[in-house]
A and B are shown apart, each in its own frame.
Chain A
């Protein structure tokens, strides 16, 4: 009699378990559905417009602009991250960290407006340079926080180990901590690139977009995100196809960068 009661209870629990699993499956499906439909749409609509001259211009614009942006943002952001790590706990740093957080949470279009007011007006032209500056400002707080987090996660005992051997603070950081941080920092920079690549809003005010090859760093330039934005607004289906093509290329580039980032952080755990 007693045995039977137990078995019934267990059966009931198993049934409940199964129902819960079905529930999770349905939730998973509904949350993945929009993602996959975006992918499907972008691939099917973007494919025909691929290999147009405009795509190439935008691809190069994107690459150049993110590269320039990183030239500014990577050393500054990583440097700021090290500074935050080194001086954590003091009052000034609490203020700086608060500002960095505020910057990171600020709508990117505000960054575009500020860079417009400072760079575009003073140089007298929309330009690839101004676009890079706005992307740099956009990813800088992200890089600083990532750097600080990764430093905290991996090196507290390492730096002390070096200090205990009579290393100066800068030597401990440069010779012992930095080599260990190479991969994590590279991953942080790649994640920053990915964030910058997809940004559109700050570029509208700064880089403007261009249907032709830019004449130089100080002339307007297109990026994939700008191409998507402007071409999608066009009433002509031919131009709209360009927007889809741009979206497809952008997704492909971001996916490749993600894979590279994952591959790098996998090697790290060894």
Chain B
């Protein structure tokens, strides 16, 4: 399932304001790539370019290319792109009028799948993958607001997995959760990387160090440095990385 994601000279704009400047990087398959950087450094814009959500914002556009499995995502239909590149948002955003089951099934239904046995099979599998199954298997048809925020976020992960993407983007998925729920998400990321290419945006450098195979630092819309967390955190090559890590920046 997981496939490498290759970004070439990606620039993103809101109106005339340039948010990202010529970013090129590879997010290898079956690895966790974490994106770190201060607020406003373009982390979120970067990942929103990967599944083409960026362009749904009025006046926003991007230049460059993103390759997945020898296809340029910017030459595909954005709907197909978003099926291949799943996304989990900063704050849990389950569909509030739908049940637990229907939330996970939503992606399948939105993509026109009607076969009930396929849907329920897929719902169970996705909930297992997001290690939520044991907690919700007896309340599948309950409203989602009965779940805790941490559970809601794992439900959003299950929802994203149900349509079997190759890449899973997580945009600061645990920043609004309590430490224990955050830890669960981290463990989950660790489990999922064997079958997906994972891109994780985080503020939290400890989190980046714990889960990442590859870490990239963004500052003011530029990719400053990338490498294994061990290298980047202990032997930064760029002066700006060192400044950021020691707190002299951002």
Contacts and interface: CB of A to CB of B under 8 A. Distances in A.
B34 to A, nearest CB: 20
B97 interface: yes
Contacts of B110: 162, 165-167, 171-172, 175-176
Nearest to B90: A157
A163 B82 contact: yes
Contacts of B160: 164-165
A149 interface: no
A161 B95 contact: yes
A46 B96 CA distance: 46
B159 A165 contact: yes
B106 A165 contact: yes
A88 B58 contact: yes
A168 B58 contact: no
A176 B51 CA distance: 19
Nearest to A183: B97
Contact of A157 (B79, B83, B93, B98): B93
Contact of B89 (A161, A172, A175): A161
Interface in B58-113: 58-59, 79-80, 82-83, 86-87, 89, 91, 93-98, 106-107, 109-111
Interface in B108-156: 109-111, 156
B161 to A, nearest CB: 11
A232 B80 CA distance: 66
Nearest to B82: A166
Contact of A158 (B57, B82, B95, B111): B95
Given A164-B160, A165-B82, A157 B89 contact: yes
B169 to A, nearest CB: 8
B89 A160 contact: yes
Interface in A172-201: 172, 175-176, 179-180
A163 B106 contact: no
A180 B59 CA distance: 27
Interface of B: 51, 53, 56-59, 79-80, 82-83, 86-87, 89, 91, 93-98, 106-107, 109-111, 156, 159-160, 163
12 contacts: A89-B59, A90-B59, A157-B89, A162-B106, A162-B110, A164-B160, A165-B106, A167-B110, A168-B79, A171-B110, A175-B110, A176-B106
Q: Sort A-B residue pairs by CB-CB distance and give the 7 closest, nearest first.
A: A89-B58, A165-B107, A166-B83, A167-B110, A164-B87, A157-B93, A166-B82
Interface of A: 87-90, 157-158, 160-169, 171-172, 175-176, 179-180
